[in-house]
Amino acid sequence: MDGSDLKIFVAVVRAGSIGRAAIELNTVQSNVTARVQLLERALGTTLFHRHSRGVTLTAAGCRLLPFAERVGDLLKQARRAVADTGTPAGPLVIGSLETTAALRLPPVLSAFAAANPDVDLTITTNTSACLLTELLDHRLDGAFVAGPVHHPDLTEEVVFREELVLITAPGVRSVDDLARQARLKIIVFRAGCAYRHRLEALLAARGLVGVRHLDFGTLGGIIGCVAAGVGVSLLPRAVVAEAVRDGLIVAHELPPADARVDTVFVRRSDAHETSAMTAFLQVARPAPVRLMQGRK
CATH number for the domain that contains residue 196? 3.40.190.10
pLDDT classification of 182: cutoffs 50, 70, 90: low
Closest CA to 280 of 143, 153, 158: 143
Same domain, 121 and 253: no
Distance CA 152, CA 134 (A): 16
Distance CA 78, CA 4 (A): 15
Residue 283, pLDDT score: 94
pLDDT digits over 88-110, tens only? 999 999 999 999 998 899 999 99
* Helical spans, DSSP H, in the chain: 3-15, 18-25, 29-43, 59-83, 98-103, 105-115, 128-136, 194-204, 219-227, 237-245, 256-259, 275-284
Is the pLDDT score of 116 beyond 90? Answer: yes
pLDDT classification of 184: cutoffs 50, 70, 90: confident
Same domain, 201 and 149: no
Q: Is 59 exposed, middle or buried (0-12, 13-18, 19+ CB in 10 A)?
A: exposed
Same domain, 68 and 178: no
For residue 292, being part of any structural domain is answered with: no
Is the pLDDT score of 136 beyond 70? Answer: yes
Contact between 46 and 40 under an 8 Å Cβ cutoff? The reply is: yes
For residue 295, being part of any structural domain is answered with: no
| Average pLDDT over all residues of the chain | 88
Contact between 157 and 264 under an 8 Å Cβ cutoff? The reply is: yes
For residue 194, being part of any structural domain is answered with: yes
Number of domains in the chain: 3
For residue 266, being part of any structural domain is answered with: yes
Same domain, 266 and 143: yes
Rounded mean pLDDT of 27-43? 93
Same domain, 79 and 149: no
Is the pLDDT score of 294 beyond 50? Answer: no
Query: Who wins on pLDDT, 83 or 133?
Result: 133
Sequence-distant (6+) residues with CB within 8 A of 65 are: 9, 10, 13, 57
Same domain, 56 and 113: no
Residue 109, pLDDT score: 95
Is the pLDDT score of 278 beyond 70? Answer: yes
Same domain, 148 and 25: no
Is the pLDDT score of 240 beyond 70? Answer: yes
**Domain coverage including residue 30:** 3-83
Instruction: Count the neighbouring beta carbons within 10 Å of the beta carbon of residue 274.
Output: 22
Distance CA 124, CA 278 (A): 19
